[in-house]
Structure formats: C-alpha cells, structure tokens
Structure 1
Amino acid sequence: MIKSKNLYFKYEDNFVLKNINLYIEEGSFTAIIGANGSGKTTLAKHFNALLLPAKGDVLVDGINTKHDELNARKKVGFVFQNFEDQLIHSIVEEDIAFGLENLGLEKNEIIGIANKTLDKLKIIHLTKNNVNMLSQGQKQLVALAGVLAMKPKCIVFDEPTTMLDVRNKNNILDIINNLNKKDDMTIILVTNVLDDVKYAENVIVLKNGTIIFNGEKSRLNSKILKGAGLSD
C-alpha cells in the first residue's frame, strides 16, 4: 500500500532521512521505532504527504505524493502525538462533522457517520460534550473518531501512549489492534516505547535517519535494539 523509493528528506541543510526504501502491505500492522531524533515522525509524515521528499518518492496506493498530495492524504489518516491540536471545534459532534462537511455531504449523512464512528469507539455518550472538558484519553478518541469518519485505508498513530495513564494506554492499543485485526485497516504505529509494539506484526527500526532493521517482529533482537539506542 505504501512504498518509499530512495527517500531523502532534510531540514535546512541537514538530511534527517537517508535512502529510505520500504514497503508497507495493505492490511498490515507495522511499528516504526527508534530513539528520539531518529526520524520516526518525519518518515511517518511522508506517508500522507504532510512532508514531501527532498529526493526519491513515496507512493500511496500507486499515488506519488509529490504529484497528488490531496488524494494521497485521503488514503492515510494521521493521529498526532499532540492530538489536542486536531480538535477544531468545542463540541464533540461538531468536531467529527468538520472534515465530513468539507466533503460536501448532506447534514443527515454527516450526523449518521459521526454517530456511527463515536459508537464504534464507545464514546457516543460524549456527542454533545465540550471537548475542553474531556479527559486526555477521551480527547484522543475524539481525534481518532475525526480521522476514522473520513474512512481512510490506513491510519498512522504517532506515539499514541505518550500523554496517557496506564488504563488509557492499554485501551488505545486495544482499539488500534481491533482496527487492524477486525476491520483490516492498515496500521502504522510510531513509538520509542517497546511495550507499545505488542500487537505489531512488522517492525521498522530507525537510527539517525536510516533503517537498521525492517522485518517481522519475531526477528527483532536485543542487539538491534541496543544499536538503535532503545535498550541498555
């Protein structure tokens, strides 16, 4: 579903991604891990054209992100680490409706999709609530609902457990796993927390903007993790 070919990216004169070649299969669950500053989020932002390559290409369902950012972005949703930045409106249902309104859908259809999405995430009871009064876990689910309502084929979760307590961490990881296993959605999870990759099938390990491992999670070992700065 997502392919990068000889991908390079730089901030000013400094290359932070170097010769990234990968393929993420449709319906898979892939974790991208690495120490802080390894390039994880920068790489993930290329998957829905939030960033574009300095050199090389990223293809999403065959769409080159450099040639068609909009349609690539429709394929891949993104839940940010600072998910509160994604919450536009103060009322939950209005926030979910925001993206759908931009698609030109009828009001009744928008309400139906919003309610179905909130129900799926077991937060339908929050429909009329003020977003600012929600817990961190609830805010994250509202942000996810806004992404899900747009019906992407893939969702990127950028460090989804960082701002959560243990209960909400486990809840969001279970939800992410269910989206993959029950709904066949392609999942990309970006993290530097090894416990967060428990449901992933495949793992990509980054170090200093390069891939040092790309394969099945079962093949990951302590030597690779130590080399990436993820273990002692």
Structure 2
Amino acid sequence: MLQLQHISLQVEDGANREILKDVNLTVDDGRFVVITGPNGGGKSTLAKVIAGILAPTEGRILLDGRDITQASITERAKMGIGFAFQQPVRFKGLTVRDLITLAAGDETLSDCDIGRYLRSVGLCPRDYIDREANASLSGGEMKRIEIAMVLARKTPLTIFDEPEAGIDLWSFGNLIDVFADLRRETEGSVLIISHQERILNIADEIVVLSGGSLTMHGPKDEILPGLLRGDRCAFCRGEE
C-alpha cells in the first residue's frame, strides 16, 4: 500500500510557487490507478515525488507502512517502486538485450522471454534485441523499450508518466492491450499519469489533480462519466 500524507512541494523560483498542495492519496495493493487533470496541474511532479526524484516540502510518503519520505530513487527502486520517464533515458554501449536483462534482474533471462517483452510493446525482437540503446533509436522506440523494461522488472508499484507520449497510433493500441494485460495479471499496483480516455477507461480508480490539489478520487465508474460529460478537453489545457 502506498500512502501520501499532506504532500506539498514549493519551488523557490522568485515566485515561491506551490506545485503540490496538501495532497492525500492512498493506493491499495493490486489497483490500477490513473492520475489525470489539466496540464500544469502537478501530475508529473507528483509521480516524481513518489519515485524519489523530487523531495516534498511537507508531508510523508509511506510504503507498506514504512516511511520512505527521505529514501532516494535508488533505495525506492530496491523497495519495489518502478518508474518510466516521460522522456526515456538513452544508454550508450548497452544493447536492448542488456537493458531488459538488467531490468529483470535475471542474467539467465532467455532471448525468448526478452522477445516476448519486446513484442508486447510492438517491437520485432529480431530488429531490436541486439540494437544499441543510443541516438540511433527514435524517442518512440526508446519509450517502448523502457516500457518493456518496466514490465520485465515486475515491481510491486509501477509508475508510468504519460506513456503515450511519442507513441504512434498503432503502437498506442498495442500499449492499451499491454496495460489491460498488466491490470489483469499484476499482484502489485500500477499508477499511470495520462489524460487519454482509453487509458482512463481501463483504470480501477481515477485521481484528478488540478492546480496542485487533488480535486477528485474514486472508482472509474463514478469519476469518468463526469469527466466525459463535461468539456472533453478540460483536463488537456492548463498552465504548462
């Protein structure tokens, strides 16, 4: 179980902006949660706070009852928090096989298993398994490889920050299938930052973050109809 207790984050950039404002959220085990809301509402910032990339100004973060507020991103990864960046990191000198093997933490991982992860994100194993993860790969290709890495890692809590960014329409359809399978198969929790209706539609719970504050949280069947009845682009606009 993940618990956020009174999480606030203030940035001193001359204006002392408060990016997150007293956010309280509990994510139970085995739940598929999508955080949505306007651009600039604090969604990606909240994901980075959970992952340990950013430290909150106030509040506590608990994982299975343990206070991890001061834990680093490396320490949280060891505790079982996986994070997929909106802009994937490139790894010069490492092949796609290396990355997925490292992510899985299993040096005996077979090419067949690696191929299964690559196919699940719409990549042909034969074309990618020996490719170096460098600038020769497009942003969309790296995004899919990073998602394959997160799937191979099988962490108790997996966070995806706008996984659809840079993904073409055909691959996005595959991505929905991957998340649908992950939702059925995972024993942990999945937390996705997204405003895509097709991703919202496979959630167990939807969280709406606007202006740095949590404005709605509940089962998909309660929250999504209200979002869709209003301006469908209301949570695509904002300050960013």
**1:54 lines up with 2:57 in the alignment:** yes
Corresponding residue of 2:100:
96
Is 1:36 equivalent to 2:11 in the alignment?
Answer: no
CA displacement, residues 51-83 of structure 1 (integer Å, 9 cap, x when unaligned): 221101011222322243344233111111112
Q: Which runs of 5+ in 1 are unaligned?
A: none
Matches within 5 A, 1:211-226: 211-220=214-223, 221-222=226-227, 226=231
Q: 1:60 to 1:89 in 2, by over 3 A?
A: farther
Structure 2 contact 94–132 (Cα < 8 Å) conserved: yes
- Bigger mean CA deviation after superposition, 217-226 or 25-34: 217-226
What SS does the corresponding residue of 2:113 show, helix, strand or coil?
Answer: helix
Provide the rounded CA distance (Å) in 2 between the counterparts of 1:96 and 1:111: 11
User: Where in structure 2 are the equivalents of 1:133-172 lying within 5 Å?
Assistant: 133-134=136-137, 136-172=139-175
**CA–CA distance in structure 2, aligned partners of residues 215 and 148 of structure 1:** 26
Whole-angstrom CA distance in 2 between matches of 1:227 and 1:179: 26
CA displacement, residues 109-154 of structure 1 (integer Å, 9 cap, x when unaligned):
4141776344234254332123355565543232123333433112
Kindly state the Cα deviation for residue 178 of structure 1 after the two structures are TM-superposed: 1.0
| Normalised TM-score (structure 1) | 0.83
Equivalent residue, structure 2, for 1:73: 77
Which of 111, 116, 121 in structure 2 is aligned with 1:119?
116
Return 5+ residue gaps in structure 2 as ranges. Answer: none
TM-score (norm 2): 0.81
Q: Which amino acid in the other structure matches residue 77 of structure 1? A: G
Structure 2 CA distance for aligned equivalents of residues 30 and 54 of structure 1: 24
Question: Cα–Cα, structure 1 residues 215 and 224, in superposed 2: closer, same or farther, change >3 Å?
Answer: farther
Work out the CA distance in 2 between the residues paired with 1:223 and 1:124: 38
Contact 2:41 2:209 (8 Å CA) reproduced: yes
Q: CA deviation at 1:32?
A: 0.2
Amino acid at match of 2:99: D
Alpha carbons 2:19, 2:42 under 8 Å: kept: yes
Whether the aligned pair in 2 keeps the contact of 1:52 and 1:65 (CA below 8 Å) is: no
Aligned counterpart, 1:4: 4
